[in-house]
Structure 1
Amino acid sequence: MKQIGICIGATRPNRVNFITDEPVRVGQFVCLTYEESSGESKTVLGMIHRLERSNPYLPDDIRAPEAAESIKKFSINENYIRGEISILGEILDNGDEVFLQMPRTPPLPAAEVLEAPPDLLKKVFGAKSEKFVRIGRLLSEKEDIPVYVDIEQIVLRHLAILAVTGAGKSNTVSVLLKNIINLGGTVAVFDFHGEYVKSKLTKNGKNAVNLIPPLINPVMLKPKEFASLIGIKQNAYVQFRYFRIAFEYLMEQLKEERGDNWQNYIDTSEFLSRLKSTIEDISDPETEIGSKIKGKVREESLFEVLNKLEDLELELGHIIKLGVPPLIEKIKPGMVNVFDFSELDEDVADAIASNILRWSLEERKKAVRKGSSKLPFPLLIVIEEAHILAGEKRNTESKYYISRIAREGRKFGLGLAVVTQRPKGLDKEILSQMNNMIILKLVEPEDQKHVQRASESLSQELMDYLPGLNPGEGIIIGNMTRIPLLVKIDRAEEKIEGNDINVVKEWKKFEKDRDYYIEDPLKELENL
């Protein structure tokens, strides 16, 4: 190992200062070697996280540029680099694998600082078993040192992928999904922009994307989910009460009339018509359902519910269908299952997403506890635009179930991966439950603070890197890797494409077809 510096000043078990005249890099891995008084040799792995270059003859208080220029000529060889190394652990090498153990005593002052050999780094960050997959390479190393992450820990401890637009979120998700399906894993994606609909992810040369249209059986929804679907807000308590009473009453009536299989004898249009009639009957105290209402009926709230049901038929009639099985049953194992929310507004998407999340948690509990389930395999749910469903200032049905899965999912093999370009808009309690994070470029200070508050592993030193990261570069922290890392994410061969439009290309399409030219705009205006 090549010596590149030496420790100076007082040392601490987790941090040391050093000086060097070598061109070292922030994020570079180094080894500290020293011998204790007992004669025991120690080797410690560290990462350079702060650097500054100084010249003892050029103090901060120098005033004249001419003086600085003249000093520079005779002191050019006196420049030196001073920095700080974060101690990652004492190296315990058994030949096949390397373990890191946090030292209980500080390194010896004047310990040698050496370049970390590539073979050592490959052992530390390489694959330990089949559950480890390659995500990229170490950003600050000259050689290609691959970085592997533990997919099992992503599913069991959840993941957040955070970045500004254009920083490489889609590419990062693509790399992860490709690795998961190659392992035989199953993923469900909530796609708000139709990016996954066009994706070409494959396994063994065959398509691995299962597109699931959001066809909803209203009977499979809870009253709150159905109410959200038709646009009844959570604070519209009277509207929801009337809707719930009518919905539950109608369900009982249909079972009495046709039995448990009543859906075989009625179509969607008739069901919605019966539901509207039942709601109308609430205003009549002579009807059975009307007699159950205590106090005066608020006609305006009742009419509002009826209007929303009529709007549902007009705007969402194509996704409402009686008799279709729960969406959870359409998830295929070993594939990326895409729920296309791109043509739905936020309230409708919330109703459908919360239904999928609820069923997923219930069925995974059954799979673990009883063995019989509609979801007999572990599942990772990727939530794009997560701030929509789990916003900091917005209560949604989905947010409730996302929070539950974040707390309980690891016991049942149900994981979450939340993806957003607006971290500050994401609920901080949910974000704090994401024990793994891939943080690409973040410029907005509030986004950075929000993420740092949610993650104990994200130090200020790592935070300082975020604004200057290039596309595809990121910080990886959490259970999926041993230590926080600066990584260059691999480029996905089968990439999920963003929906950015080539504006200039689109303009040029119409320019060549244009057969007019306005010579005098003012005269043209007068002719109008």
Structure 2
Amino acid sequence: MEKMILNYKEEELIGKIASVDTGTAIAFIPDDKKMSELQINQLIAVNSPRAGTHIIGMVVKMSRRLDETILQNDIDDKKNDDNVVLPSNAIKLVFVGELRDKEGIKVNVFKRNVTALPNIQSSCFRIDGDKLTKLMECISTIAANAVTPLSLGKYFIDENSTAYIDGDKLFQRHAAIVGSTGSGKSYCVAKLIEQMAELKSVNAVLFDIHGEYSDESFKRDGITQLKIAAPNDLETANKLDKGILMVPYWLLNYEEMQALLLDRSDSNAPNQAMQLSKQIMTAKKSIVKGTEYESKITLDSPIAYDLNAVLQELHKLDTAKEQGARGEKAGPFNGKLTRFNQRLENKMSDKRVGFMFSLTNEEQELDWLQKFCRQLMGTSKFNNGGIKVIDFSEVPSDILPLVIGLVARIIFSVQQWSAKEKRHPIALLCDEAHLYVEQNESIDAVSAIGLKSFERIAKEGRKYGVSLVIISQRPCEVNKTVLSQCNNFISLRLTNVEDQNTIKRLLPDNLGNIADNLALLDIGEAIVVGDATLLPSRIKVEEPKIKPQSNTVQFWQVWGKNDSTQDLDTAVENIIKQSKSE
């Protein structure tokens, strides 16, 4: 029969509980030697009022040999806990769960909730050595029993125990992976992708902003490499088969089209918006006439209409004249669409956004959207791999939020309009999220429209099987609405105080002290908190087999070499072509 993990003798007692509130406790440690052996973040077992149960607490504060008169202030809790000096030889504990010796036929069952708070004078014991190893194994076994266990590394407090994470809860409740530049954030993401790629029916999209996940090591089974079309890709045939994505203008809904083309400060903006919607609808109706979609579409239906035909009609209205009482006079829209038409023409001729406006017959076919969605959202049944890495590195930064927001909206819309029993869950991994899921009160209309898609996914995505994984080095610049919906946090080292405070505010009150370690983490170390982990943990992320192109440049070592790999001529050519492609 399996033995109980936390089975203590009287001589192993280290102290007694002196003060308790709903999430924390203060314990006296009378023995100086035992006090000196304790550390911050150490786990402590506290006897529970429930028989056969130990409450698990984490040490977050320690104090030694101070005036005994301070004790009463702590017990009365008249001051803020963070400002109170703890009494003589005392430790402050944060409750993180409880271990039950037996539950039904199961033994050593760990639960995140604490069903009964400890009594005053409850005994406290250290959890170390074999007991710590077995406790961590017990916690990990629950997640390890999944079909394919998800692990990012080893526990910091016990390197013999693998830190498993509940993959279902990680993606069901949204997640955030944050860390300052150089903290190991990209390696952590790569470790996650590496394990996701092993799943037979995985379905995920990674928005790769800098092309760091598009190198050779990521070209493997389970991963499909895609890219947004560059100027020199526009005439390529069979783009989708070659992993080249166009994002046609006809995918834009009316609100997105207005944000991209309309100048709200123009006094004729209402007339321009009205005529734009009218002419687009007319063009869409002409396309579906005589098909199964006739009389069933709306202005936002993604139908491949001809924008040149729309522009021609707008030009006619802008120059139209009509017969008046004294001869010809200007029509109702004469001269009111001029500036709008010029903006539209400029966009259509701008090769930087050729992936949106320079369409070939391939993108105008009625079944193109079905092929696009299979490439974008298909599992390994349709692609080389269910993880689609989309390289956005050549997309102009001024419309990046709109383009990524559009891709996210299409994915969400497909999931929303799918029959419940036919939905396949999909995760969106948003690298450098602060660039397009930004917290900025004065963002322009284009960025605001893109942001709206992510806010909706954050709030409603769970219902339709769409998960968000926010990845950022500046969490304080990420939209607060989106971050507040993340119930799982994997935080590597954060050195900026504003970033640290952002994460602290999102954690439960009793776990706020854990975030105090964020600036002290080593490279590759992370604090994992949330629904996906039973125990708030500090882990050491294992080095992934697939490595992103994000290694920190060794300035001093490179400068000390005799030779150089610098190629300025090719770089200048790429700037001119606005593409890194051969």
Aligned equivalent of 1:281, options 316, 321, 334: 316
Q: Does 1:27 align with 2:27?
A: no
Contact 1:232 1:240 in 2 (8 A): no
SS of residue paired to 1:464: helix
2:221 corresponds in structure 1 to 206
Which whole-Å CA distance do the structure 2 matches of 1:296 and 1:346 have between them?
32
Which whole-Å CA distance do the structure 2 matches of 1:512 and 1:255 have between them?
56
SS of residue paired to 1:407: helix
Which whole-Å CA distance do the structure 2 matches of 1:227 and 1:507 have between them?
53
1:218 corresponds in structure 2 to 249
Q: Residue type matched to 2:348 in 1?
A: L
Deviation at 1:107, TM superposition (A): 3.8
TM-score of the aligned structures, taking structure 2 as reference length: 0.71
| Gapped regions of structure 2 (runs ≥ 5) | 1-7, 68-87, 227-242, 292-304, 323-328, 381-385, 568-582
2:134 corresponds in structure 1 to 119
- Aligned pair in 2 of structure 1 residues 55, 106: CA closer, same or farther (>3 Å)? closer
- Aligned pair in 2 of structure 1 residues 190, 244: CA closer, same or farther (>3 Å)? farther
Aligned equivalent of 2:538, options 486, 493, 497: 486
1:304 corresponds in structure 2 to 343
1:194 corresponds in structure 2 to 211
**Aligned residue pairs: how many?**
470
Contact 2:52 2:100 in 1 (8 A): no
Contact 1:448 1:463 in 2 (8 A): yes
Contact 1:99 1:124 in 2 (8 A): yes
Once the two structures are superposed, residues 148-185 of structure 1 have per-residue CA deviations (whole angstroms, 9 ceiling, x without a partner) of: 11111122110111111111111111122222222332
- Aligned pair in 2 of structure 1 residues 206, 302: CA closer, same or farther (>3 Å)? closer
SS of residue paired to 1:89: strand
Q: Does 1:180 align with 2:219?
A: no
Q: Does 1:140 align with 2:127?
A: no
- Aligned pair in 2 of structure 1 residues 9, 253: CA closer, same or farther (>3 Å)? closer
Deviation at 1:293, TM superposition (A): 5.5
Which whole-Å CA distance do the structure 1 matches of 2:35 and 2:120 have between them?
21
SS of residue paired to 2:401: helix
2:94 corresponds in structure 1 to 86
1:61 corresponds in structure 2 to none
| Range moving further from structure 2, 425-434 or 143-152 | 143-152
Contact 1:7 1:111 in 2 (8 A): yes
1:429 corresponds in structure 2 to 481
TM-score of the aligned structures, taking structure 1 as reference length: 0.77
2:118 corresponds in structure 1 to 106
SS of residue paired to 2:212: coil
Contact 2:56 2:98 in 1 (8 A): yes
Q: Does 1:168 align with 2:184?
A: yes
| Range moving further from structure 2, 344-353 or 8-17 | 8-17
Contact 1:247 1:275 in 2 (8 A): no
- Aligned pair in 2 of structure 1 residues 155, 234: CA closer, same or farther (>3 Å)? farther
Which whole-Å CA distance do the structure 2 matches of 1:273 and 1:499 have between them?
46
2:529 corresponds in structure 1 to 477
Q: Residue type matched to 1:317 in 2?
A: G
Deviation at 1:346, TM superposition (A): 2.8
Aligned equivalent of 2:516, options 464, 475, 493: 464
Alignment of 1:39-438 (within 5 A): 40=51, 42-52=53-63, 82-94=90-102, 95-96=106-107, 98-100=109-111, 101-109=113-121, 111-116=123-128, 117=131, 118-128=133-143, 129-130=145-146, 132-141=149-158, 143-184=159-200, 185-198=202-215, 200-201=217-218, 206=221, 208-211=223-226, 212-227=243-258, 242=272, 245-246=275-276, 248-250=278-280, 252-253=282-283, 255-256=285-286, 259=289, 271-286=306-321, 297=336, 299-311=338-350, 314-317=351-354, 320-321=358-359, 322-323=363-364, 325-326=368-369, 327-331=372-376, 332-334=378-380, 335-369=386-420, 371=421, 376-393=423-440, 394=443, 395-438=447-490
Cα RMSD (Å): 3.7
Which whole-Å CA distance do the structure 1 matches of 2:261 and 2:550 have between them?
29
Which whole-Å CA distance do the structure 2 matches of 1:238 and 1:456 have between them?
50
| Gapped regions of structure 1 (runs ≥ 5) | 57-79, 262-269, 515-528
